[in-house]
Structure 1
Amino acid sequence: MKGTITDDLALDYLKNSFTSEDIDEFQNISAKYGFSLFAHEHKPQFINGPEIWFPQIAVILSHEVMQSIVCGLATNALYDWLKVLLLSIQIKLKANLKNRPFYHVSNGEMKETTPSVHIVIEQNHIDLPVDMDQEKFEYCIDKAMETMKQLNECKKTYCIWDENTKTFKTFSYEESLRMNFSQKESSEK
């Protein structure tokens, strides 16, 4: 399906993450709630920078959808749609990981990894970890919806789930860069 200016959401995903039947299901879920979804598959790529800046799977909200959330005009149907869609994406990803694992290359080593799903709102990224049970993932989605309302669409931010506090920690672009380098330094020691 070709993307249009009127699509409410774009799903950008790493090749082989989903089957064509999965994508049809995501589009049917969207249509059921009165929204449209554009799906785009991208090839694996080597990145030189913090992984958080390059999501393997991104759910990109249109400007109109983002504005309705930030301005408090979003309907329950919008929240229900996003929640059902994100849960469906998590279920399909977890099922597909058994046959098609994701890999991460660091310090010359290739390791199997679990992807996360980024909700992208303008310059903001909310990083939803996929490797949790459905109940926790639902809770995480609810917290993501709360976080969305507080985002500043003009400043680039990254929201990362903190399992200890059960909240999203928000980092600026610069803070995420510093965090990535400190994690890299500590892993090299």
Structure 2
Amino acid sequence: MKNEMKDVIVEETNQCYEAQISELRNELKATAAAEQALNNIRLCNLQQALNFAREDLTRDETTKTHSLWYMIASVTVFIASLVFTSLAIFQGDPFSKIAPIVSSVLITAVPGIFIMVKLSLDAIVSVTLTRNRIVVLKLMVKEVQLSNANITKEVLSLLWEVAETSYNESHENVWHELQTPSRRHTSYATIHHK
């Protein structure tokens, strides 16, 4: 009879602890799933931002290249205008037919050079900033991916700890209950003996 009672107590206690273990596991899985879902949203947003940054970099590189070419063209026209003006002056005919054309080219070339220099510098700064932004975004993407991997590892580790701890506790409690029988068990035994 005592052995049957012990078996019943052990079975009930084991069922109780199995239910607790199951509940803890479900809670851990739910928490991990929620964190991974948030990380996936972050990852999606970061990848989209990274794509936009790459598009910006392509545009900025194109702008920089075009600005540099326009600046070179402006400087070339400016130098050519100076050469033609100098030749006209040295030939003693500064007011020849070519002089008005050269002077108009000079008038447009000088501001053009400054504008192209400004655009080129802006484009160079923009390219540098966009490259830095891409580097930062890539690091953030790696962090999120690492976080997802760590969540999986932590959950597996915690699930193992929960199972191990609960198993040890259940055995300790079963042993404790077997050593100190409750009133219910005593009264049951008394009734049975009658």
TM-score (norm 2): 0.22
Larger strand percent:
1
Larger helix percent:
2
Q: Which has the higher contact order (CA 8 A, sep 6+)?
A: 2
Higher Cα radius of gyration:
2
TM-score (norm 1): 0.23
